[in-house]
Structure 1
């Protein structure tokens, strides 16, 4: 399983520093990404960045008198956009893990 890896050559402080550096870089990159979801034919639209922070919310004026419909559309829209962001985070984590393949190689 660990063929070709000399664990005695791994500097854990260096590895942890690289992990922390990669995590900070990923967080900065995520802040620049934008995910948008619409519900009700565009009557509700939510945009979040890759760090799952809401950056924009649009609600059609006709929904302001229909609380139940507004709640349903907001929940649907939020779930969709959060799913997009989560998938992006998973993909970035897999990419980060791929970068560890060279540690301790002979």
Structure 2
């Protein structure tokens, strides 16, 4: 079953994968993505790791709790989607265009 398997090559491959994963995480942490809702009345910014790092709310919304909640939910959901899309595209570029999320067939 393991005939011809060179453990040295396997170790090298594992090191390369670990290095790529570290690069991916570092690159993700430095990315900032911003989603807006209500024509820019609410802005939510997240880093590439998915951590919310800033929320900006226009003063005009401070007296309309329901509108604020709706716009905030929308912006948060949008920025989460942006983070996921960014992770996928970054992973694809780091792995030479092969989509690791596609279940084995390569590109989308």
* Bucket of the pairwise TM-score, normalised by the shorter protein: 0.7 to 0.9
The higher-RCO structure (CA 8 Å, 6+ apart) is 1
Give runs of aligned pairs for residues 1-106 of structure 1, distance below 5 A.
Answer: 8-9=5-6, 11-98=9-96
Q: Which structure shows the bigger proportion of residues in helix conformation?
A: 1
> 2 CA distance for matches of 1:9 and 1:91?
32
> 2 CA distance for matches of 1:88 and 1:9?
35
> 1 CA distance for matches of 2:94 and 2:77?
26
> 2 CA distance for matches of 1:99 and 1:42?
34
Where structure 1 has 5 or more consecutive residues not aligned to the other structure, the ranges are 1-6, 101-106
Q: Which residue pairs with 1:4 in the alignment?
A: none
> 1 CA distance for matches of 2:97 and 2:12?
14
Q: Which residue pairs with 2:101 in the alignment?
A: none
Where structure 2 has 5 or more consecutive residues not aligned to the other structure, the ranges are 99-108
> 2 CA distance for matches of 1:78 and 1:55?
11
CA RMSD between the two structures: 2.1
| Secondary structure of 1:87 counterpart | helix
